[in-house]
C-alpha cells in the first residue's frame, strides 16, 4: 500500500497526459497493450456521483482477460488510500490492433471525503499466443507450430476529479454565518413584533381620537339645543307676559 501511495504521489506530480476539454478533463494512461483515455469532470462535491468515461484502444492483437479500474483517494487522517470504486471495464475479449472498448463508470464520493483528488488505477491482464516452430534442419519433415500462451499484466495510475470538500476555514465561516443569520432572524422577529404593536397602538389612538371627536360633536350639538331651548323659553315667557297684559286690560275695560 505504501508503494502504491508513493506511486500515486509521483503520478500526480509528473503526469503530463492530462488536458482540459470544454467542461471535461481528459487523461491518458499508456499500458503495454492498451492506450486508455479517461474523461471526467474537473471537480465534484462530497456525497455526489461522478461519471468517468473509459476508452481503451488496442496496440496489437491479443486476448484480453480483463481490464479493470480502481478508484481511490488519499485519506490524510491515516495516510493511506481509501477505495471508492472497483470496476471490471471489460473481460474475455479477443482484441485486434486498433480495436476499442468504451464504458462509463459511475463513482460515488463519500460524504466525509477530504479535499483531495481522486486517483484511478487502470490494470490490464492479457494473454498472448505465441507459435513456436521447431526446425530440425534441411530435409526434416515439417512440424505443425505449437501455440504457447503467455499471460502478462500491466497497470498505471492517473489523477481523476478533484473533491471540493469544505476547508476548515470555510466550515468556521459557515458556522459564524449561520449564527449571525440566526441572530438576524431573532432581531427581525422582535422588530416585526414591535411594528405590529406600534400599529395596534396607532389604531387605538385613532379610535380614541375618533371617539373624542364624536363626543365633541355631541357636546356642540347639545349646546346648540340648549341655546335654542333657552331662546325659545325667553320667547314663550315674553309671549305669556304680553298675553297676560292684554287679558288684564280687557278685564278692566269690561268692569267699567
Contact call for residues 131 and 112 (beta carbons, < 8 A): no
Joined together, the cell numbers standing for residue 8 give 500515486
**Element housing 234 (H / E):** helix 168-255
Comparing 105 with 200, the larger pLDDT belongs to 105
Q: For residue 243, is it left (φ>0), alpha (ψ between -120 and 50) or beta?
A: alpha
Spatial distance between the Cα atoms of 107 and 41, rounded to a whole number of angstroms: 12
Nearest to 103 by CA among 155, 64, 68, 72: 68
| Residue 252 CB burial class (10 angstroms; 0-12, 13-18, ≥19) | exposed
What is the per-residue pLDDT across 31-62, written as a single tens digit (0 to 9) for each?
999 999 999 999 999 999 999 999 999 999 99
Domain boundaries, the chain: 2-165, 166-256
pTM of the predicted model, to two decimals?
0.57
CA atoms within 13 A of residue 242's CA, in its CB half-sphere: 6
Spatial distance between the Cα atoms of 88 and 84, rounded to a whole number of angstroms: 14
Other CB atoms within 10 Å distance of the CB of residue 33: 21
- Does domain 2-165 fall under CATH 2.60.40.10? My reply is yes
Contact call for residues 103 and 40 (beta carbons, < 8 A): no
Q: pLDDT above 90 covers what percent of the chain?
A: 38
Average pLDDT, the chain: 82
**Cα 96–Cα 68–Cα 113 angle in degrees, nearest 5:** 150
Amino acid at each position: 500500500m505504501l508503494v502504491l501511495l508513493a506511486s500515486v504521489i509521483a503520478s500526480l506530480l509528473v503526469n503530463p497526459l492530462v488536458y482540459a476539454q470544454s467542461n471535461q478533463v481528459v487523461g491518458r494512461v499508456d499500458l503495454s497493450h492498451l492506450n486508455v483515455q479517461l474523461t471526467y469532470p474537473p471537480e465534484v462535491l462530497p456525497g455526489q456521483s461522478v461519471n468517468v468515461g473509459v476508452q481503451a484502444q488496442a496496440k496489437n492483437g491479443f486476448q484480453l482477460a480483463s481490464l479493470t479500474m480502481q478508484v481511490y483517494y488519499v485519506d490524510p487522517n491515516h495516510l493511506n488510500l481509501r477505495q471508492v470504486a472497483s470496476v471490471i471495464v471489460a473481460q474475455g475479449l479477443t482484441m485486434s490492433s486498433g480495436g476499442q472498448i468504451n464504458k462509463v463508470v459511475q463513482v460515488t464520493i463519500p460524504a466525509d471525503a477530504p479535499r483531495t483528488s481522486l486517483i484511478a488505477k487502470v490494470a490490464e491482464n492479457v494473454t498472448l499466443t505465441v507459435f513456436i516452430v521447431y526446425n530440425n534442419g534441411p530435409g526434416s519433415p515439417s512440424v505443425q507450430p505449437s501455440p504457447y500462451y503467455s499471460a502478462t499484466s500491466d497497470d498505471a495510475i492517473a489523477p481523476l476529479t478533484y473533491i471540493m470538500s469544505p476547508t476548515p476555514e470555510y466550515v468556521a465561516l459557515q458556522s459564524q454565518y449561520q449564527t449571525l443569520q440566526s441572530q438576524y432572524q431573532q432581531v427581525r422577529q422582535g422588530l416585526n413584533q414591535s411594528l405590529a404593536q406600534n400599529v395596534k397602538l396607532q389604531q387605538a389612538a385613532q379610535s380614541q381620537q375618533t371617539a373624542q371627536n364624536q363626543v365633541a360633536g355631541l357636546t356642540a350639538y347639545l349646546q346648540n339645543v340648549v341655546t335654542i331651548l333657552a331662546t325659545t323659553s325667553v320667547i314663550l315667557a315674553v309671549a305669556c307676559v304680553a298675553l297676560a297684559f292684554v287679558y288684564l286690560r280687557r278685564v278692566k275695560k269690561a268692569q267699567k
